[in-house]
Amino acid sequence: MRLMAFDYGQRRLGIAIGDEITGSARGLVTVRPDSPDGMKTIAALVAEWRPDAFVVGWPTRADGAPTVLGPAIRRFAEELGRCHGLPVYWADERLSSHLGRERVRHRGSDPGLDAHAAAVILEGWFMENTRNA
């Protein structure tokens, strides 16, 4: 199963793609979540990669309470699933930006920290949700 993951932030939305068979993911691109171009980019990526489902990072505070971005992330995920007719799964995104920094390349084309964070979110989802045969 191929999944597309999202790391939603107020200013940036990281997008990654990954495969359940390998349990690995890679960052694709970072877009602005509130821009029409961002939504067009998502639609183009969905058409190109043909994911079976989406994984959206869900931020929580240290005490487990949702962050102030919770309602905006929920609206984004609901619209994403409705527009593309695919299931949306949630994943804990704590430490994803920190771990994503380790993947940033300082040369060549790099999809950006938020795209790497989305890849970390997706790999975490794979570890928690796939079973060994």
> pLDDT tens digits for 2-44?
999 999 988 999 999 999 999 999 999 999 988 889 889 999 9
**What dihedral do alpha carbons 49, 54, 5, 73 form, nearest 10°?**
140
CA distance 46 to 49: 5
> Quick one: pLDDT at residue 68?
87
Q: Residue 113: pLDDT above 90?
A: no
> Quick one: pLDDT at residue 121?
92
| All structural domains of the chain | 2-64+94-129 (3.30.420.140)
CB atoms < 10 A from the CB of 133, how many?
3
* Contact between 31 and 13 (Cβ < 8 Å): yes
pTM assigned to the model: 0.85
Q: Residue 110: pLDDT above 70?
A: no
Instruction: Give residue 45's pLDDT band: very low, low, confident or very high (50, 70, 90).
Output: very high
